[in-house]
Amino acid sequence: MLDKTFIEKLFTQWDLIFQANIETLTELDSVGGDGDLGIVMGDGFKAADQFVHDSMETDLGKLFYQAGKCFNNAASSSMGTLLSSGFMNIGKKLKGKTALANEELLLLVCEMAAGVKQTGKAEEGEKTFLDAIYPAARSIEANLKSAPIDFLTAGYQAACQGVDDAAKMEAKHGRLAFRKADSIGIIDPGTVVAKLYVEGLLKTIASEQQ
**Which pLDDT value is given to residue 33?**
78
Between helices 130-142 and 189-208, what is the axis angle to 10°? 30
**Which pLDDT value is given to residue 119?**
96
* DSSP, res 185: T
Cα–Cα dist 26/37, whole Å: 6
**Which pLDDT value is given to residue 111?**
98
pTM here?
0.97
Cα–Cα dist 16/22, whole Å: 10
What residues have CB less than 8 Å from 16, skipping those under 6 apart? Answer: none
Cα–Cα dist 108/84, whole Å: 13
**Which pLDDT value is given to residue 197?**
98
**Which pLDDT value is given to residue 85?**
98
For residue 155, give Cα distances in angstroms to 14, 28, 49, 128: 16, 23, 23, 17
**Which pLDDT value is given to residue 175?**
84
**Residue-by-residue pLDDT tens, the chain, 210 positions:** 799 999 999 999 999 999 999 999 999 999 987 899 999 999 999 999 999 999 999 999 999 999 999 999 999 899 999 999 999 999 999 999 999 999 999 999 999 999 999 999 999 999 999 999 999 999 999 999 999 999 999 999 999 999 999 999 999 998 888 889 989 999 999 999 999 999 999 999 999 876
What residues have CB less than 8 Å from 137, skipping those under 6 apart? Answer: 106, 109, 110, 113, 155
**Which pLDDT value is given to residue 177?**
87
